[in-house]
Structure 1
Amino acid sequence: MPTEARAFSRRIWTWARVAGGAAILAVLVWRVGTGPLVDGLRQTTGWSLAAAFAITSLTTLCCAWRWRLVAGGLGVEMPLRTAVAAYYRSQFLNATLPGGVMGDVHRAVRHGREVGDLGRSLRAVAWERSSGFAVQIVLTVGVLFLLSWPAGSFVPPAAVTVAVLAGVVAVLLCLKGHRLASRIGRVFTSDLRDAILAPRAWPRILLASTVAVLGHAAVFLIAVRATGADLSPARLLPLALVVLTASAVPTNIAGWGPREGAAAWAFSSIGLGAPLGVTVAVVYGVLALVATLPGAVVLAVARQTRQMPLNS
């Protein structure tokens, strides 16, 4: 495919993701009005911001450690301090730019230029995010089945999600006899073996991903408390995991869209009402954005460092 055609396709896909998030928000405003959105902004408090900031520092450390483990398995190692700073920066960009993935792309490209291997760096970020999402899916489905009452209405869509993922894996395995002799197939299996399923890597990746998911769920619970809703953690945990899983869909406007739509559906499905779900999602969005502000500091420092030789 010509370069111009590829660039045009990427632009179309980018605008399609943004349009998807805008459509979800428009439908929500049409159905529940702007009241829940305004309530979410008003009910964000100082203690909730401080708690979210502290918890996100732990989840960021875990995610950066996971990225370092995967990158090390692919031969593009980095210090943990560098990984944490880069991860904060990517989270801030994901929370402020359309699509929700531009920060990860920036993280991969910047690391690739630093180590002189863009391909491995791109694959490291892709595997790191994929492994984390896979653990999140497994945890979500497990909680939905274990806490059967609040999760009852979520089991069918969750089962569909797992079935789709299993289908993708099955297709990849079926390709073994046909295309795994190709370069892409060899790279895929090699990365999976060396970076994800290596005996020294996968338990740590699992631990880091689990702590990160539970940390994000804790921030969601804080958002619920900030709205004044009095619900038990056992009832809220399935809601949190479902909404967080939907938030990973890269069809949003700086993180907004699927999260609010999923929250409205999830809360209304168990009789709590769509307006409360939207309000909680807005509070969570504000908490998540503020918690990534160290990434803005990393960006500012990096920019200042690049400009220093020019001003000397």
Structure 2
Amino acid sequence: MRTFRWVRLVAGAATLAVVGWRLGAGPFLDGVRAINGEALLAATVIGLVTTVCCAWRWTIVARGLGVRLSFPVAVAAYYRSVFLNVTLPGGVAGDIHRGVSHGRDVDDVGRALRIVGWERAAGQVVQAVLTIAVLLLLPSPVRGSMPLVALVLVAAAAAVVVVGRARAGDGRSRWARLRNTVAADLRAGLLHRRALPAVALASVVVVLGHAVTFLVAARTVGVTAPPSRMLPLALLAMLAMVLPSVAGWGPREGATAWVFASAGLGAGRGAATAVAYGVMVLAASLPGALVLVAGWLPRRQPPLPVGRIPLVVRRDGAADA
């Protein structure tokens, strides 16, 4: 596990270094300089909507797997998770912290971590479906290969449905227990008739929110291409954000530079857009820093209610407070 973590960090740092070597520091500086108050305000509002939807999705999956999770607590924890993801190496530290903290609260860390994993996986599946649908309809550098990709995705979705509907086995071997656990989690947490529509809706809003933030970042750095041309590029760049990174940096800049260059918009402008997007996402996650600091503060003990002061009775019958 430690080796895999170092591989993730090295891969993300190497990607960022290659982009900086090929394009220089100019696009990075341009992306930071282009940020203005309107862009930060838009990112904060969109970030609020996407975070609330993510927290809602988390509570739905948790309820399906039989774990309690209140919505206000979920929103605060998700803000903290996003802040940690965009400030710590690896990009997943916040999700792990969110799962472990929730698990300690409910005395079941393993199940809480599974809930976080399924919740994030559901969002990525919906993102992949939306991305393929857009890339099939709108022109992009990868449009020619999208039918094959769509076929693979359909096959994978069918396999998930088959596993989710599979009957539990005897559970004697470790693989049988794992299969039974996965099937039970899918049926209860994601494929249940009450969970699936809500999870899908929340995930669609989240993906569209991130895409709109990306479009705002592109417009902020001076890209004037129409949204119909920019949306496929935004979704392609967002797919790279799940790859190993350094607090979100690295694959995002490399992928955005590539797709912008392939679309004739310039690799430098693409890198600047990715940098602006990263700064906007960081600004939108700052409420998570307040949640993190609040968790470090000592909690005040509630005062004793009036009339409940304990009395000590002396042998002579008198009472001392």
Query: Do Structure 1 and Structure 2 share a fold, with TM-score over 0.5?
Result: yes
Partner of 1:299: 292
Q: CA RMSD in A?
A: 2.4
CA deviation string 1:88-121 (max 9, x = no partner): 0000000001110010000000000001111110
Q: Is the 8 A contact 2:132 2:150 kept in 1?
A: no
Which ranges in structure 2 are unaligned for 5 or more consecutive residues? 302-321
Q: Is the 8 A contact 1:112 1:122 kept in 2?
A: yes
Match of 2:186 among 185, 189, 192: 192
Q: Is the 8 A contact 2:136 2:146 kept in 1?
A: no
May I ask how many residue pairs the two structures share in their alignment?
Answer: 296
Which ranges in structure 1 are unaligned for 5 or more consecutive residues? 1-9
Q: Is the 8 A contact 1:25 1:261 kept in 2?
A: yes
Match of 1:50 among 36, 41, 49: 41
Q: 1:91 and 1:112 mapped to 2: Cα distance?
A: 18
CA, structure 1 residues 162+285, in 2 after alignment: closer, same or farther (shift >3 Å)? farther
CA, structure 1 residues 130+193, in 2 after alignment: closer, same or farther (shift >3 Å)? same
Q: How does 1:147-296 map to 2 (within 5 A)?
A: 147=138, 149=139, 151-156=140-145, 159-160=148-149, 163=152, 166=155, 170=159, 181=171, 182-249=176-243, 251-296=244-289
Give the secondary structure class of the aligned counterpart of 2:224: coil
Q: 2:154 and 2:229 mapped to 1: Cα distance?
A: 26
CA, structure 1 residues 177+121, in 2 after alignment: closer, same or farther (shift >3 Å)? closer
* Percentage of identical aligned residues: 50
Which structure shows the higher helix fraction? 1
Q: 2:267 and 2:273 mapped to 1: Cα distance?
A: 10
Match of 2:54 among 53, 63, 68: 63
Partner of 2:107: 116
1:18 and 2:12 correspond: no
Give the secondary structure class of the aligned counterpart of 2:142: helix
Partner of 1:96: 87
Q: Is the 8 A contact 1:137 1:162 kept in 2?
A: no
Give the secondary structure class of the aligned counterpart of 1:305: coil
CA, structure 1 residues 264+112, in 2 after alignment: closer, same or farther (shift >3 Å)? same
Larger Rg belongs to: 2
Supply the AA of the counterpart residue of 2:192.
A
TM-fit CA distance, 1:261 = 0.7
**What is the TM-score with the length of structure 1 in the denominator?**
0.89
Q: 2:287 and 2:276 mapped to 1: Cα distance?
A: 19
TM-fit CA distance, 1:248 = 1.6
Supply the AA of the counterpart residue of 1:217.
A
